[in-house]
Chains A and B, each alone.
Chain A
Amino acid sequence: MSDLFPFMRFGMFAETVQSIPQQEKFTVVISSRDGIIQSLADRQIGLDDSHLNYLCRIYYYNHQLDFFASHLQKSGLLQKNEKLLILHKTMEDHEWKHDTLLTK
Protein backbone atom coordinates (compact mmCIF):
# COMPACT_ATOMS: atom_id res chain seq x y z
CA MET A 1 0.00 0.00 0.00
CA SER A 2 2.83 2.37 0.71
CA ASP A 3 4.76 1.45 -2.44
CA LEU A 4 3.24 3.83 -4.97
CA PHE A 5 6.28 4.30 -7.16
CA PRO A 6 7.96 6.72 -7.67
CA PHE A 7 6.31 9.27 -5.48
CA MET A 8 5.52 7.50 -2.28
CA ARG A 9 7.30 5.09 -0.10
CA PHE A 10 7.62 6.23 3.41
CA GLY A 11 7.83 2.83 5.07
CA MET A 12 11.63 2.73 5.14
CA PHE A 13 12.80 1.76 8.64
CA ALA A 14 9.17 1.77 9.80
CA GLU A 15 9.22 -1.95 10.43
CA THR A 16 10.83 -3.22 13.62
CA VAL A 17 13.52 -5.80 13.00
CA GLN A 18 12.31 -8.73 15.02
CA SER A 19 11.62 -11.80 12.94
CA ILE A 20 14.47 -14.00 11.74
CA PRO A 21 13.98 -13.36 7.96
CA GLN A 22 14.54 -9.64 8.61
CA GLN A 23 17.87 -10.40 10.24
CA GLU A 24 19.61 -11.90 7.25
CA LYS A 25 22.06 -10.33 4.87
CA PHE A 26 23.48 -11.29 1.50
CA THR A 27 26.84 -9.89 0.45
CA VAL A 28 28.42 -10.05 -2.98
CA VAL A 29 32.21 -10.08 -2.77
CA ILE A 30 35.08 -10.50 -5.19
CA SER A 31 37.96 -12.72 -4.31
CA SER A 32 41.22 -12.28 -6.18
CA ARG A 33 43.95 -14.92 -6.62
CA ASP A 34 46.17 -13.25 -4.02
CA GLY A 35 43.44 -13.69 -1.40
CA ILE A 36 42.11 -10.12 -1.30
CA ILE A 37 38.37 -9.97 -0.75
CA GLN A 38 36.45 -6.83 -1.69
CA SER A 39 32.74 -6.01 -1.66
CA LEU A 40 31.31 -5.63 -5.19
CA ALA A 41 29.45 -2.48 -4.13
CA ASP A 42 32.78 -0.82 -3.28
CA ARG A 43 33.60 -0.77 -7.00
CA GLN A 44 31.05 1.99 -7.67
CA ILE A 45 28.92 -0.30 -9.83
CA GLY A 46 25.75 1.79 -9.61
CA LEU A 47 24.03 -0.54 -7.16
CA ASP A 48 24.75 -0.21 -3.46
CA ASP A 49 24.93 -2.98 -0.86
CA SER A 50 21.21 -2.86 -0.06
CA HIS A 51 20.30 -3.18 -3.76
CA LEU A 52 22.64 -6.15 -4.18
CA ASN A 53 21.30 -7.69 -0.97
CA TYR A 54 17.79 -7.35 -2.37
CA LEU A 55 18.69 -8.89 -5.76
CA CYS A 56 20.46 -11.81 -4.08
CA ARG A 57 17.42 -12.39 -1.90
CA ILE A 58 15.12 -12.54 -4.94
CA TYR A 59 17.28 -15.10 -6.74
CA TYR A 60 18.03 -17.07 -3.59
CA TYR A 61 14.37 -17.56 -2.73
CA ASN A 62 13.58 -18.32 -6.40
CA HIS A 63 16.37 -20.95 -6.40
CA GLN A 64 18.18 -19.05 -9.18
CA LEU A 65 21.18 -17.74 -7.28
CA ASP A 66 23.62 -19.68 -9.48
CA PHE A 67 22.17 -18.00 -12.57
CA PHE A 68 22.57 -14.59 -10.89
CA ALA A 69 26.15 -15.32 -9.82
CA SER A 70 27.24 -16.79 -13.16
CA HIS A 71 25.83 -13.81 -15.05
CA LEU A 72 27.77 -11.39 -12.83
CA GLN A 73 30.90 -13.52 -13.19
CA LYS A 74 30.71 -13.17 -16.98
CA SER A 75 29.39 -9.62 -17.10
CA GLY A 76 32.74 -7.87 -17.45
CA LEU A 77 32.64 -6.39 -13.95
CA LEU A 78 35.42 -8.72 -12.83
CA GLN A 79 39.03 -9.19 -13.90
CA LYS A 80 40.16 -12.56 -15.27
CA ASN A 81 41.81 -13.69 -12.04
CA GLU A 82 38.83 -12.74 -9.86
CA LYS A 83 35.96 -14.85 -8.60
CA LEU A 84 32.53 -13.74 -7.48
CA LEU A 85 31.22 -15.08 -4.17
CA ILE A 86 27.82 -14.62 -2.55
CA LEU A 87 27.72 -14.85 1.22
CA HIS A 88 24.75 -15.18 3.53
CA LYS A 89 24.61 -14.50 7.23
CA THR A 90 21.92 -14.29 9.89
CA MET A 91 21.78 -12.51 13.22
CA GLU A 92 21.03 -14.11 16.55
CA ASP A 93 20.87 -12.27 19.89
CA HIS A 94 22.36 -9.09 18.39
CA GLU A 95 25.33 -11.05 16.99
CA TRP A 96 26.00 -11.96 13.37
CA LYS A 97 26.55 -15.66 12.88
CA HIS A 98 29.27 -16.84 10.50
CA ASP A 99 28.92 -16.25 6.78
CA THR A 100 27.75 -19.16 4.67
CA LEU A 101 29.06 -19.40 1.12
CA LEU A 102 26.12 -19.80 -1.27
CA THR A 103 27.92 -19.93 -4.61
CA LYS A 104 29.86 -22.88 -6.00
Chain B
Amino acid sequence: MNKQLFIKQSLLFIILSLILWIGYFLSMHYTSTLTHEILIASPGTKGWTRWVYEFYPRLQIEKWRFSETFFLSKAEQILTRVTFTLQVFLILFSFRSLFSKKIAGTYNKLTDLSIDRRFIPYITLLLYTSLLLVVYNAIWEFNALAYFSPFYKPTGIGKLLLPIFPSIAAMWFIYAVLIGSIAAVILLPKKWISAIVAVLAFIYYQLILFGFGKYDHGYSTLTYALLIYPFFLWEVEDSKDATVSAWSIVLIQWMICLSYFYCALEKITTSGIDWFASDNLQQHLLLHETALGLKLASYPNLCMLLSFGVVLLQLSFIGLPFQKKLTYLLLPAGFIFHTATWILLDAGGWFNPWWGVYLFFLFPLQPQETK
Protein backbone atom coordinates (compact mmCIF):
# COMPACT_ATOMS: atom_id res chain seq x y z
CA MET B 1 0.00 0.00 0.00
CA ASN B 2 1.11 3.57 -0.76
CA LYS B 3 2.97 4.82 2.34
CA GLN B 4 2.07 8.48 1.78
CA LEU B 5 -1.61 7.68 1.45
CA PHE B 6 -1.51 5.65 4.64
CA ILE B 7 0.10 8.54 6.57
CA LYS B 8 -2.53 10.93 5.18
CA GLN B 9 -5.36 8.59 6.19
CA SER B 10 -3.90 8.09 9.66
CA LEU B 11 -3.56 11.86 10.22
CA LEU B 12 -7.14 12.45 9.12
CA PHE B 13 -8.30 9.63 11.38
CA ILE B 14 -6.42 11.01 14.42
CA ILE B 15 -7.73 14.57 13.89
CA LEU B 16 -11.36 13.49 13.39
CA SER B 17 -11.18 11.09 16.35
CA LEU B 18 -9.77 13.86 18.56
CA ILE B 19 -12.63 16.18 17.55
CA LEU B 20 -15.12 13.38 18.25
CA TRP B 21 -13.77 12.58 21.71
CA ILE B 22 -13.34 16.25 22.73
CA GLY B 23 -16.99 16.70 21.69
CA TYR B 24 -17.90 13.64 23.74
CA PHE B 25 -16.22 14.80 26.95
CA LEU B 26 -17.56 18.35 26.54
CA SER B 27 -21.11 17.03 26.07
CA MET B 28 -20.66 14.70 29.05
CA HIS B 29 -19.68 17.73 31.11
CA TYR B 30 -22.99 19.47 30.29
CA THR B 31 -25.21 16.36 30.34
CA SER B 32 -26.23 16.89 33.93
CA THR B 33 -27.30 20.54 33.36
CA LEU B 34 -29.13 19.67 30.13
CA THR B 35 -30.92 16.69 31.69
CA HIS B 36 -32.08 18.90 34.55
CA GLU B 37 -33.32 21.55 32.09
CA ILE B 38 -35.29 18.94 30.12
CA LEU B 39 -36.88 17.49 33.23
CA ILE B 40 -38.04 20.83 34.66
CA ALA B 41 -39.39 22.00 31.27
CA SER B 42 -43.05 21.48 30.60
CA PRO B 43 -43.80 19.62 27.34
CA GLY B 44 -45.91 22.46 25.91
CA THR B 45 -43.18 25.10 26.13
CA LYS B 46 -41.28 26.31 23.10
CA GLY B 47 -37.52 25.97 22.69
CA TRP B 48 -35.16 23.06 22.22
CA THR B 49 -36.53 20.98 25.12
CA ARG B 50 -39.83 20.67 23.18
CA TRP B 51 -38.08 18.38 20.70
CA VAL B 52 -37.05 15.98 23.44
CA TYR B 53 -40.71 15.59 24.44
CA GLU B 54 -41.64 15.33 20.77
CA PHE B 55 -39.30 12.35 20.25
CA TYR B 56 -39.82 10.78 23.65
CA PRO B 57 -43.43 11.52 24.72
CA ARG B 58 -43.27 8.96 27.53
CA LEU B 59 -40.92 11.30 29.36
CA GLN B 60 -43.99 13.29 30.48
CA ILE B 61 -44.96 10.36 32.68
CA GLU B 62 -41.65 8.75 33.40
CA LYS B 63 -40.15 11.91 34.85
CA TRP B 64 -42.55 11.65 37.79
CA ARG B 65 -41.59 8.01 38.37
CA PHE B 66 -37.82 8.00 38.20
CA SER B 67 -35.09 10.11 39.74
CA GLU B 68 -32.96 12.58 37.81
CA THR B 69 -29.99 10.19 38.15
CA PHE B 70 -31.92 7.58 36.11
CA PHE B 71 -32.36 9.98 33.18
CA LEU B 72 -28.81 11.24 33.52
CA SER B 73 -27.49 7.69 33.09
CA LYS B 74 -29.77 7.28 30.02
CA ALA B 75 -28.47 10.52 28.48
CA GLU B 76 -24.87 9.46 29.08
CA GLN B 77 -25.59 6.04 27.61
CA ILE B 78 -27.00 7.54 24.41
CA LEU B 79 -24.02 9.87 24.10
CA THR B 80 -21.57 7.00 24.59
CA ARG B 81 -23.41 4.81 22.06
CA VAL B 82 -23.43 7.57 19.42
CA THR B 83 -19.73 8.30 19.99
CA PHE B 84 -18.71 4.64 19.70
CA THR B 85 -20.80 4.17 16.55
CA LEU B 86 -19.25 7.28 14.97
CA GLN B 87 -15.81 6.00 15.94
CA VAL B 88 -16.43 2.70 14.14
CA PHE B 89 -17.63 4.57 11.04
CA LEU B 90 -14.57 6.79 11.27
CA ILE B 91 -12.25 3.75 11.22
CA LEU B 92 -14.11 2.28 8.24
CA PHE B 93 -14.12 5.63 6.41
CA SER B 94 -10.51 6.64 7.11
CA PHE B 95 -8.97 3.29 6.21
CA ARG B 96 -11.47 2.26 3.53
CA SER B 97 -8.71 1.63 0.99
CA LEU B 98 -7.15 -0.96 3.35
CA PHE B 99 -10.16 -3.26 3.42
CA SER B 100 -12.30 -2.16 0.50
CA LYS B 101 -11.24 -5.18 -1.61
CA LYS B 102 -11.93 -7.66 1.15
CA ILE B 103 -15.29 -6.05 1.95
CA ALA B 104 -16.24 -5.99 -1.75
CA GLY B 105 -15.27 -9.69 -2.09
CA THR B 106 -17.34 -10.75 0.93
CA TYR B 107 -20.20 -8.50 -0.16
CA ASN B 108 -20.30 -10.04 -3.64
CA LYS B 109 -20.16 -13.56 -2.23
CA LEU B 110 -23.05 -12.83 0.11
CA THR B 111 -25.25 -10.90 -2.29
CA ASP B 112 -24.71 -12.33 -5.78
CA LEU B 113 -27.19 -15.09 -5.13
CA SER B 114 -30.28 -16.30 -6.91
CA ILE B 115 -33.23 -18.52 -6.09
CA ASP B 116 -34.99 -21.23 -8.06
CA ARG B 117 -38.29 -19.91 -9.40
CA ARG B 118 -40.12 -23.06 -8.22
CA PHE B 119 -39.66 -22.04 -4.56
CA ILE B 120 -41.24 -18.59 -4.93
CA PRO B 121 -44.95 -19.58 -4.68
CA TYR B 122 -44.19 -21.40 -1.40
CA ILE B 123 -42.30 -18.41 0.07
CA THR B 124 -45.14 -16.05 -0.92
CA LEU B 125 -47.79 -18.36 0.47
CA LEU B 126 -45.98 -18.84 3.79
CA LEU B 127 -45.16 -15.14 4.25
CA TYR B 128 -48.69 -13.89 3.60
CA THR B 129 -50.23 -16.72 5.61
CA SER B 130 -48.05 -15.52 8.52
CA LEU B 131 -49.43 -12.02 8.01
CA LEU B 132 -52.96 -13.38 7.87
CA LEU B 133 -52.44 -15.25 11.16
CA VAL B 134 -51.33 -11.98 12.76
CA VAL B 135 -54.20 -9.80 11.50
CA TYR B 136 -57.20 -12.07 10.87
CA ASN B 137 -59.00 -10.85 14.02
CA ALA B 138 -57.98 -7.20 13.55
CA ILE B 139 -61.55 -5.92 13.20
CA TRP B 140 -62.49 -7.36 16.62
CA GLU B 141 -59.40 -5.71 18.10
CA PHE B 142 -60.32 -2.40 16.43
CA ASN B 143 -63.89 -2.54 17.71
CA ALA B 144 -62.69 -3.27 21.24
CA LEU B 145 -60.13 -0.48 21.07
CA ALA B 146 -62.92 1.95 20.10
CA TYR B 147 -63.99 1.83 23.78
CA PHE B 148 -60.65 3.41 24.61
CA SER B 149 -60.71 6.03 21.83
CA PRO B 150 -60.58 9.05 24.23
CA PHE B 151 -57.16 7.76 25.32
CA TYR B 152 -55.81 7.50 21.78
CA LYS B 153 -52.57 9.50 21.64
CA PRO B 154 -50.45 8.60 18.60
CA THR B 155 -46.72 9.22 18.58
CA GLY B 156 -44.09 9.34 15.84
CA ILE B 157 -45.47 8.87 12.32
CA GLY B 158 -48.85 8.04 13.87
CA LYS B 159 -49.33 11.77 14.48
CA LEU B 160 -49.03 12.33 10.74
CA LEU B 161 -50.78 9.29 9.29
CA LEU B 162 -53.52 8.69 11.84
CA PRO B 163 -53.85 11.75 14.12
CA ILE B 164 -57.34 10.84 15.36
CA PHE B 165 -58.87 7.47 16.21
CA PRO B 166 -60.61 6.17 13.07
CA SER B 167 -64.39 5.82 12.77
CA ILE B 168 -66.01 2.37 12.62
CA ALA B 169 -66.38 2.73 8.82
CA ALA B 170 -62.69 3.66 8.45
CA MET B 171 -61.65 0.68 10.56
CA TRP B 172 -63.74 -1.68 8.41
CA PHE B 173 -62.15 -0.11 5.31
CA ILE B 174 -58.60 -0.71 6.65
CA TYR B 175 -59.54 -4.28 7.59
CA ALA B 176 -61.10 -5.00 4.18
CA VAL B 177 -58.05 -3.59 2.38
CA LEU B 178 -55.72 -5.61 4.60
CA ILE B 179 -57.47 -8.95 4.15
CA GLY B 180 -58.30 -8.28 0.48
CA SER B 181 -54.72 -7.42 -0.42
CA ILE B 182 -53.37 -10.52 1.38
CA ALA B 183 -55.85 -12.67 -0.57
CA ALA B 184 -54.84 -10.91 -3.81
CA VAL B 185 -51.13 -11.60 -3.20
CA ILE B 186 -51.82 -15.28 -2.55
CA LEU B 187 -54.37 -15.85 -5.32
CA LEU B 188 -53.80 -13.41 -8.18
CA PRO B 189 -50.98 -13.67 -10.72
CA LYS B 190 -49.87 -10.00 -10.54
CA LYS B 191 -48.72 -9.73 -6.95
CA TRP B 192 -46.35 -6.84 -6.31
CA ILE B 193 -48.96 -4.04 -6.25
CA SER B 194 -51.18 -6.00 -3.82
CA ALA B 195 -48.06 -6.64 -1.72
CA ILE B 196 -47.45 -2.87 -1.41
CA VAL B 197 -51.10 -2.29 -0.44
CA ALA B 198 -50.86 -5.12 2.13
CA VAL B 199 -47.81 -3.67 3.90
CA LEU B 200 -49.34 -0.17 3.97
CA ALA B 201 -52.56 -1.56 5.46
CA PHE B 202 -50.45 -3.54 7.97
CA ILE B 203 -48.69 -0.33 9.04
CA TYR B 204 -52.11 1.31 9.57
CA TYR B 205 -53.13 -1.72 11.65
CA GLN B 206 -50.08 -1.14 13.86
CA LEU B 207 -50.80 2.59 14.08
CA ILE B 208 -54.23 1.85 15.55
CA LEU B 209 -52.89 -0.83 17.88
CA PHE B 210 -49.93 1.20 19.15
CA GLY B 211 -51.70 4.57 19.25
CA PHE B 212 -52.13 4.32 22.99
CA GLY B 213 -48.59 5.28 23.87
CA LYS B 214 -47.26 1.77 24.22
CA TYR B 215 -45.72 -0.01 21.32
CA ASP B 216 -43.39 -2.96 21.04
CA HIS B 217 -41.14 -4.64 18.54
CA GLY B 218 -43.30 -7.73 18.03
CA TYR B 219 -44.06 -6.97 14.39
CA SER B 220 -40.78 -5.30 13.41
CA THR B 221 -39.12 -8.14 11.47
CA LEU B 222 -42.36 -9.06 9.71
CA THR B 223 -42.89 -5.40 8.75
CA TYR B 224 -39.33 -5.14 7.40
CA ALA B 225 -39.81 -8.32 5.36
CA LEU B 226 -43.14 -7.12 3.97
CA LEU B 227 -41.62 -3.78 3.02
CA ILE B 228 -38.81 -5.44 1.04
CA TYR B 229 -40.72 -8.39 -0.46
CA PRO B 230 -42.71 -6.38 -3.10
CA PHE B 231 -39.36 -5.56 -4.78
CA PHE B 232 -38.69 -9.29 -5.05
CA LEU B 233 -42.17 -9.96 -6.48
CA TRP B 234 -41.69 -7.15 -8.98
CA GLU B 235 -38.44 -8.74 -10.14
CA VAL B 236 -40.06 -12.18 -10.34
CA GLU B 237 -42.85 -10.86 -12.56
CA ASP B 238 -40.40 -8.89 -14.68
CA SER B 239 -38.28 -11.88 -15.76
CA LYS B 240 -38.93 -15.36 -17.15
CA ASP B 241 -35.61 -16.96 -16.15
CA ALA B 242 -35.50 -20.23 -14.22
CA THR B 243 -33.72 -18.44 -11.38
CA VAL B 244 -34.35 -14.98 -9.95
CA SER B 245 -31.90 -12.61 -8.28
CA ALA B 246 -32.24 -13.06 -4.53
CA TRP B 247 -30.80 -9.73 -3.33
CA SER B 248 -34.10 -8.86 -1.59
CA ILE B 249 -34.23 -12.26 0.16
CA VAL B 250 -30.63 -11.75 1.32
CA LEU B 251 -31.54 -8.26 2.55
CA ILE B 252 -34.47 -9.69 4.53
CA GLN B 253 -32.17 -12.38 6.01
CA TRP B 254 -29.67 -9.70 7.08
CA MET B 255 -32.43 -7.57 8.55
CA ILE B 256 -33.67 -10.51 10.66
CA CYS B 257 -30.17 -11.37 11.87
CA LEU B 258 -29.32 -7.76 12.68
CA SER B 259 -32.60 -7.34 14.59
CA TYR B 260 -31.66 -10.25 16.87
CA PHE B 261 -28.11 -8.97 17.19
CA TYR B 262 -29.40 -5.51 18.07
CA CYS B 263 -31.68 -7.03 20.76
CA ALA B 264 -28.63 -8.56 22.43
CA LEU B 265 -26.66 -5.31 22.17
CA GLU B 266 -29.59 -3.43 23.77
CA LYS B 267 -29.47 -5.78 26.75
CA ILE B 268 -25.72 -5.55 27.15
CA THR B 269 -25.47 -1.79 26.62
CA THR B 270 -28.54 -0.92 28.68
CA SER B 271 -27.95 -3.16 31.67
CA GLY B 272 -24.40 -4.48 31.30
CA ILE B 273 -23.44 -7.49 33.38
CA ASP B 274 -26.47 -6.98 35.67
CA TRP B 275 -28.68 -8.42 32.94
CA PHE B 276 -27.16 -11.86 33.52
CA ALA B 277 -27.65 -11.81 37.27
CA SER B 278 -30.21 -14.42 38.30
CA ASP B 279 -32.49 -11.91 40.04
CA ASN B 280 -33.03 -10.01 36.76
CA LEU B 281 -34.94 -12.80 34.99
CA GLN B 282 -36.51 -13.70 38.33
CA GLN B 283 -37.90 -10.16 38.69
CA HIS B 284 -39.24 -10.19 35.11
CA LEU B 285 -40.92 -13.54 35.79
CA LEU B 286 -42.41 -12.34 39.08
CA LEU B 287 -43.71 -9.16 37.40
CA HIS B 288 -45.51 -11.10 34.68
CA GLU B 289 -46.95 -13.69 37.08
CA THR B 290 -47.55 -16.65 34.76
CA ALA B 291 -47.89 -20.10 36.36
CA LEU B 292 -44.74 -21.59 34.79
CA GLY B 293 -42.83 -18.32 35.11
CA LEU B 294 -43.40 -18.23 38.86
CA LYS B 295 -42.17 -21.82 39.15
CA LEU B 296 -39.04 -21.02 37.15
CA ALA B 297 -38.35 -17.96 39.32
CA SER B 298 -37.60 -20.28 42.23
CA TYR B 299 -34.51 -21.67 40.44
CA PRO B 300 -31.96 -18.80 40.45
CA ASN B 301 -29.15 -20.77 38.79
CA LEU B 302 -31.40 -21.85 35.95
CA CYS B 303 -32.54 -18.22 35.54
CA MET B 304 -28.91 -17.12 35.20
CA LEU B 305 -28.15 -19.89 32.71
CA LEU B 306 -31.19 -18.99 30.61
CA SER B 307 -30.19 -15.30 30.59
CA PHE B 308 -26.79 -16.25 29.15
CA GLY B 309 -28.49 -18.54 26.66
CA VAL B 310 -30.81 -15.79 25.40
CA VAL B 311 -28.00 -13.29 24.80
CA LEU B 312 -25.80 -15.95 23.21
CA LEU B 313 -28.65 -16.96 20.89
CA GLN B 314 -29.38 -13.37 19.87
CA LEU B 315 -25.70 -12.58 19.31
CA SER B 316 -25.19 -15.77 17.26
CA PHE B 317 -27.75 -14.71 14.64
CA ILE B 318 -25.15 -12.35 13.16
CA GLY B 319 -23.19 -15.46 12.10
CA LEU B 320 -26.08 -16.95 10.14
CA PRO B 321 -25.45 -15.20 6.77
CA PHE B 322 -21.81 -16.43 6.91
CA GLN B 323 -22.43 -19.96 8.15
CA LYS B 324 -25.59 -21.55 6.76
CA LYS B 325 -25.21 -24.63 8.97
CA LEU B 326 -26.19 -22.45 11.93
CA THR B 327 -29.74 -22.50 10.49
CA TYR B 328 -30.28 -25.98 11.97
CA LEU B 329 -29.33 -24.74 15.43
CA LEU B 330 -30.55 -21.15 15.57
CA LEU B 331 -34.00 -21.49 14.01
CA PRO B 332 -35.22 -24.25 16.38
CA ALA B 333 -33.60 -22.38 19.29
CA GLY B 334 -35.34 -19.16 18.21
CA PHE B 335 -38.64 -21.01 17.95
CA ILE B 336 -38.22 -22.34 21.50
CA PHE B 337 -37.14 -18.90 22.76
CA HIS B 338 -40.21 -17.06 21.40
CA THR B 339 -42.57 -19.78 22.58
CA ALA B 340 -40.95 -19.59 26.03
CA THR B 341 -41.38 -15.79 26.23
CA TRP B 342 -45.07 -16.32 25.48
CA ILE B 343 -45.50 -19.05 28.12
CA LEU B 344 -43.22 -17.57 30.79
CA LEU B 345 -43.62 -13.82 30.31
CA ASP B 346 -46.97 -13.64 28.52
CA ALA B 347 -45.29 -11.66 25.71
CA GLY B 348 -46.92 -12.11 22.29
CA GLY B 349 -49.18 -15.00 21.37
CA TRP B 350 -49.01 -18.64 20.25
CA PHE B 351 -48.02 -17.48 16.77
CA ASN B 352 -44.97 -15.27 16.97
CA PRO B 353 -44.29 -13.05 13.93
CA TRP B 354 -40.56 -13.28 14.68
CA TRP B 355 -40.48 -16.96 13.77
CA GLY B 356 -43.07 -16.29 11.05
CA VAL B 357 -40.23 -14.84 8.95
CA TYR B 358 -37.83 -17.78 9.49
CA LEU B 359 -39.14 -19.11 6.17
CA PHE B 360 -36.60 -16.88 4.41
CA PHE B 361 -33.84 -19.20 5.68
CA LEU B 362 -35.56 -22.40 4.58
CA PHE B 363 -35.09 -22.22 0.80
CA PRO B 364 -31.65 -22.69 -0.77
CA LEU B 365 -29.94 -19.80 -2.55
CA GLN B 366 -27.35 -20.44 -5.21
CA PRO B 367 -24.55 -18.32 -6.74
CA GLN B 368 -25.90 -16.24 -9.58
CA GLU B 369 -25.13 -17.42 -13.11
CA THR B 370 -23.17 -14.85 -15.10
CA LYS B 371 -24.87 -14.07 -18.41
Contact = CB atoms under 8 A, between A and B. Distances in A.
A62 interface: yes
Contacts of A7: 220, 223-224
Contacts of A36: none
B283 A17 contact: yes
Given A6-B206, A46-B143, A14 B287 contact: no
B302 to A, nearest CB: 16
Q: Which interface residue of B58, B216, B277 has the most chain A CB atoms within 10 A?
A: B216
A58 B155 CA distance: 15
A23 B283 contact: yes
B290 to A, nearest CB: 11
Contact of A61 (B61, B216, B347): B61
B13 interface: no
Contacts of A55: 148, 151, 212-214
| A interface, size bucket | 35 or more
A35 interface: no
B368 interface: no
Interface in A14-34: 14-19, 21, 23, 25
A2 B214 contact: no
A48 B35 CA distance: 33
What does DSSP make chain B's interface, helix, strand, loop or mixed?
Answer: helix
B271 A15 contact: yes
A102 interface: no
B328 interface: no
Contact of B145 (A5, A17, A47, A72): A47
Contacts, number: 131
A44 interface: yes
Contact of B61 (A18, A25, A58): A58
Contacts of B280: 16-17
A20 to B, nearest CB: 9
A14 B220 CA distance: 16
A12 B223 contact: no
A10 B145 contact: no
Contact of B207 (A6, A13, A21): A6
Given A10-B266, A14-B266, A15-B270, A23 B287 contact: yes
B346 interface: yes
A30 to B, nearest CB: 13
A17 B286 CA distance: 10
Contacts of B213: 54-55, 58
Interface in A43-71: 44-51, 54-55, 57-58, 61-62, 68, 71
B270 A6 contact: no
B275 interface: yes
A8 B56 CA distance: 14
A14 B224 contact: no
A16 B282 contact: no
Contact of B275 (A9, A14, A50, A94): A14
17 contacts: A2-B266, A6-B206, A6-B219, A9-B215, A9-B216, A10-B263, A12-B216, A15-B270, A15-B271, A16-B283, A17-B280, A50-B214, A50-B346, A55-B213, A62-B61, A71-B151, A91-B286
Which 4 residue pairs across A and B have the least CB separation, nearest first? Answer: A46-B144, A17-B283, A5-B156, A21-B65
